[in-house]
Amino acid sequence: MLLVLSAEHRAHLGCLPQAGGAVVGELGRLAMEQLRRGTAPRACEAAARKLSIGVDTIQHGVEGLVYLLTESSKLMISEVDFQDSIHVLGFSDELNKSLIQLYLDNRKEIRSILGELAPRLPSYHSLEWRLDVQLASRSLRQQIKPAVTMKLHLNQNEDPTAQVLQTDPATLLHLIQQLEQAMGEMKMNHCRRIVRNMK
């Protein structure tokens, strides 16, 4: 699977061919520091002074590398696919080798960082439900008003929680149909490919 870079990201990475090997190494180090600790304008300014390059060039190069590394790591792109992805940028063989080595050396750590940043969503534990039907009221002697009450038990960060939901059968039937449609779409080749690359 190839990573497709937008024109903006290609422009950000465009400063790399003019930079020497030491600059690319420094930009790679700054990109990894940004992933670990967040943006650091002072580090970019210090690198710009040290390398005698404009601060904007350093920042754009770092942003381009961060995007390239994170997207490639998310998709777990193989070495060959990564090489093919950056080949379209027209870099020299030496620069391509440096970028490939940067990716291979750091992709596990990047995936770990991205995993920590992902939101911790609650997981399903169990479901209780009850069907209530109102047959009459003071104002209406004959009516049928059904309602489905559900108690959804979830686990969030090892803590059990519960959500009580109430709906009418027509809305519940519509939700079931939408979920079945989504499950059917998951069987399509395109969705399977996406899920396979997310693992």
Give pTM, 2 decimals.
0.59
> Per-residue pLDDT tens for 48-74?
788 777 888 888 888 888 888 888 888
Same domain membership, residue 32 and residue 109: yes
Range in 75-89, 123-137, 161-175 the model is least confident about: 75-89
What's the structural domain count of the chain?
2
Q: What is the pLDDT of residue 8?
A: 78
Q: What is the pLDDT of residue 82?
A: 85
Q: Which residues of 131-150 are buried (b: 16+ CB within 10 A; e: fewer)?
A: eeeeeeeeeeeeeeeeebee
Contact criterion met (CB below 8 Å) for 76 and 35: no
Give the residues across from 152 on adjacent strands: 127, 163
Residue span of the structural domain in which 18 resides: 7-117
Would you state the structure tokens that stand for residue 172, as one six-digit string?
A: 């519940």
Closest-CA residue to 117 (of 109, 106, 125, 126) = 109
Boundary residue ending a domain (81, 96, 117): 117
Same domain membership, residue 109 and residue 24: yes
Same domain membership, residue 129 and residue 113: no
Longest CA–CA span in the chain (Å) reads 86
Angle of helix 55-74 relative to helix 93-117, nearest 10 degrees, comes to: 70
Same domain membership, residue 88 and residue 137: no
pLDDT value at 85 more than 90? no
Same domain membership, residue 141 and residue 95: no
Q: What is the pLDDT of residue 94?
A: 84
- Per residue, the 3-state secondary structure of 88-133, as one string, reads CCCCCHHHHHHHHHHHHHHHHHHHHHHHHHCCCCCEEEEEEEEEEE
Same domain membership, residue 94 and residue 129: no
pLDDT winner (highest mean) among 17-21, 76-80, 113-117: 76-80
> Per-residue pLDDT tens for 103-151?
889 889 988 888 887 777 888 899 999 999 888 777 777 778 899 999 9
d(CA 20, CA 25): 9
Backbone phi, then psi, for 99, in 5-degree steps?
A: -65, -40
